[in-house]
Amino acid sequence: MALDEKQIEKLTTRVIDALHTVYDPEIPVDVYELGLIYDISITPEGKTHILMTMTTPNCPMIESLPEEIKEKVGALTDVSEVDIEVTFEPSWDKDMMSEEAKLQLGFL
């Protein structure tokens, strides 16, 4: 059964909620608030593509963090497949963090 636009919108919200539960263990802020998630796209079939980055190209979590995201998002109802793409263009910097994350880390 194909998802309609409204269902995709609700599923996107649930994906974001799941991303709020994934933390970089070195930083006490979730990956979404850190600004590591560049894009989320979901097809009517539930295929979910997440474009993300890491804080640095040599981040020790480069293998495990995307896997944790894939597991948590893949467990959501209506998600049929999860594809995680890691990019370093543009490279991450602290300006990509949400105001909440900046406040939590003492940047504000």
pLDDT tens for each residue of 99-108:
999 998 888 7
Positions of the chain with pLDDT lower than 50, given as ranges? none
Q: What is the pLDDT of residue 23?
A: 93
Predicted TM-score (pTM) of the model is: 0.93
Predicted pLDDT of residue 62: 86
So where are the chain's domains?
5-90
Task: Identify residue 2 by its one-letter amino acid code.
Answer: A
Question: In the CATH hierarchy, which fold is given to the domain comprising 5-90?
Answer: GMP Synthetase; Chain A, domain 3 (3.30.300)
